[in-house]
Amino acid sequence: MRCRVLQVCALLCLLESMLCGAEPTTFDLSRSWDATIPLANPHKGWYHHYYDNALTKYLTERDEDLLEFPGMDHIYLRLAWSYLEPQEGEFRWEIIDRVIKKWTERGLRVSLRITCKETGTQPIEQQFATPRWVMEAGAKGGHFRRYHEPGDPRWPWEPVYDDPVFLEKLDNFIRALAERYDGRPWLSYVDIGSLGDWGEGHTGSGSQIKYDCATKLKHLEIHTRYFKKTQLMISDDFVRETPTEEGQAKLHRYIVDHGISYRDDSILTDFKTQRYSKTFSVSNPEYYEAVYRTTPTVLEMQHLRIYTAEGKWAGREGTALGDLGATGADFLRGAVELIRATYIGYHGPADQWMALPDNPALTVELLNRCGYWYFPHAVTIPVAAGSGGDTITVTWENRGVAPAYHPYKIIFRLRGKDNHSLSVDSGNLNWTPDQPNAIYTETYRMASLATLAPGRYDLAMKLYCPSTRRDVLLPLQPELRDGKGFYRIGSFDVR
């Protein structure tokens, strides 16, 4: 009897040693990748110019044009200050509130740019983008139109951007704007649009005055004084069109130090396409290199009607792109890569964009490539789960052009004789695309693994964004995802 007991003990010891030396169980997820799936994920994707220049520009005929657009993240409201404060201290927030309410209830977010100079004359809010009452209060300015002599009262009115009366009234307005909207969960970002034509920081279609660093710093300071929670953006022209290199460097330093990020409003314009063809019409890629690791960047294209009506998008011979042997899509891909864009705007009617040849596929391609794009390579659990191992290891790759700027949770689910789940920080803020093919290994402790009862278990997982209450979709075959958003990883036995 004693001999038999010793034999059993020896056998158990042998089995234990064999288990300790065995390889962990690894599930290879690369076999289930599908990079063609459009992933509409939080904090990235396409946006639509809902208001642009005026309250009638780029509205949609069908709500479905936006709701069915792959990866539509937010609407972009760009309109003149005069719409929102027609008389001093009298605010008409309902002009944008009704639009905000409609689209946020449908799951979209919003971004804002309020301008002080537009180039149209009808309605009056375009001629006086800065409200007329600011001029009547004593702010200096003049009527300008490109290639015309100044002074004609029919032309748009441009303020002197460092005039003290103008700056005082602007400060009051931006304070009221921030009190109402700063930190709202649906507000993606606010553009600093208080200087220059269309808020782009230059006066090329107006007085053609190049304002110095000191003036532009005043506009930056007004916005950073009041917007403390919402991401601020600035057009790269705001810096580039400053007269001296010293002034440009000082403005850039302020922008970086205060967490402001950049947007490019000039992708596919003729001037930028020809002058900066080697950088896909991006004039200053170094600006984006300085900010993209910590803040999202934005790409805005030339008005859709311009490059489609003249055949530029297709790169027709005789057009700027055609002479370069390229198409609009070629330039757009290159610009997204170069500025590390998290958000992309096509600047026109959504249905017309999707009607361009090959654009449905291009839309999905750029949706996935912009911002982050997470590929899980493998999931590893300890051999003999239930016998001491308590960690799950996942290897990740970010094939997007930028990191994510918000932390996401990873949720594991075990189903079997015992049911267990775990929700922890995924570590996604570390998954950067700086190095091609960089693999990030994360180890998550799941204590219940060490005490699982014998039986067969199914393992599933998903990424989740707490701030938006949305799942972060992965490029895995759709049939792996269940009704609660979990991707099935595989099964294992506990004995």
Q: Quote the strand ranges of 121-260, DSSP E.
A: 141-143, 157-159, 187-191, 232-235
Q: Using N-to-C axis directions, what is the helix angle for 164-181 and 213-226, rounded to 10°?
A: 30
Nearest Cα to Cα of residue 114 among 138, 83, 142, 91: 83
Number of domains in the chain: 2
Please give the DSSP secondary-structure letter assigned to residue 479.
G
- The pLDDT value recorded for residue 388 is 65
Range of the domain at 32: 22-36+373-494
- Mean pLDDT, residues 246-275: 96
User: Per residue in 227-242, pLDDT tens?
Assistant: 999 999 999 999 999 9
Task: For residues 246 and 106, state if they share a domain.
Answer: yes
Task: For residues 52 and 183, state if they share a domain.
Answer: yes
Task: For residues 189 and 326, state if they share a domain.
Answer: yes
* The last residue of a domain, from among 343, 369, 395: 369
What torsion, rounded to 10 degrees, do the Cα atoms 33, 36, 38, 44 define?
80
Task: For residues 211 and 344, state if they share a domain.
Answer: yes
Which residues does 165 contact at the CB level (< 8 Å), separation at least 6? 134, 137, 138, 139, 140
Q: Is the model's pLDDT at 488 over the cut of 60?
A: yes
Please give the DSSP secondary-structure letter assigned to residue 87.
B
Using 50, 70 and 90 to split pLDDT, how confident is the model at 408? very high
Containing H/E element for 170?
Answer: helix 164-181
Task: For residues 145 and 265, state if they share a domain.
Answer: yes
Task: For residues 325 and 382, state if they share a domain.
Answer: no
Tell me the average pLDDT of the chain.
92
Which residues does 269 contact at the CB level (< 8 Å), separation at least 6? 281, 302
Using 50, 70 and 90 to split pLDDT, how confident is the model at 437? confident
- Inside any domain, residue 339: yes
CATH number of 104's domain? 3.20.20.80
Nearest Cα to Cα of residue 170 among 221, 94, 121: 221
Q: Is the dihedral of CA 256, 79, 225, 136 positive or negative?
A: positive
Instruction: Indicate the pTM of the whole model.
Output: 0.93
- Inside any domain, residue 5: no
Alpha helices, DSSP H, located in 198-345: 213-226, 236-240, 245-257, 270-275, 285-289, 304-309, 320-323, 328-339
Task: For residues 66 and 175, state if they share a domain.
Answer: yes
Question: How many other CB atoms sit within 10 Å of the CB of residue 354?
Answer: 16
- Inside any domain, residue 65: yes
- Mean pLDDT, residues 265-292: 95
Task: For residues 232 and 345, state if they share a domain.
Answer: yes
Query: How far is Cα 51 from Cα 189, in angstroms, rounded to an integer?
Result: 15
Residue whose pair of structure tokens reads 């610009």 in the numeric block: 335
